[in-house]
């Protein structure tokens, strides 16, 4: 189980989207996304050594908003071609973009 410390910003984003987030039950992911008790996706990467990939809220804490905004722009550009919906269902990439970035 993930012990990722979910940030206030991520809880706020999830709430605005009408979903709930919890630490992931998968050791390779940071957060699980739920709607009405149903799991929609597991998002956020974890390195093999257990460290978490950084995300927008983490970068704000570590580097400040200006640098975090640059990291966010680069992340979104790198992942822009990933499908955000498949068969009418939002993909993990969609949820990661909206909640983590």
Tens-digit pLDDT profile for residues 65-94: 999 999 999 999 999 999 999 999 999 999
Closest CA to 6 of 28, 39, 36, 29: 29
Tokens coding 48: 């093999």
Tens-digit pLDDT profile for residues 17-37: 999 999 999 999 999 999 999
Beta bridge partners of 32: 22, 42
Q: Where are the domains of the chain?
A: 8-100
Output the pLDDT for position 8.
97
Query: What is residue 52's DSSP assignment?
Result: B
Distance set, CA 89 to CA 30, 45, 63 (Å):
21, 21, 34
């Amino acid at each position: 189980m993930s012990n990722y410390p979910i940030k206030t910003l991520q809880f706020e984003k999830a709430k605005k989207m009408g979903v709930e987030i919890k630490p992931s039950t998968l050791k390779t992911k940071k957060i699980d996304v739920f709607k009405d008790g149903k799991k929609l996706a597991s998002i956020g990467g974890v390195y093999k050594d257990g460290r978490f990939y950084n995300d927008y809220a983490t970068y704000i804490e570590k580097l400040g908003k200006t640098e975090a905004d640059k990291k966010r722009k680069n992340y979104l550009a790198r992942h822009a071609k990933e499908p955000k919906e498949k068969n009418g269902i939002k993909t993990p990439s969609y949820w990661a973009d909206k909640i983590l970035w």
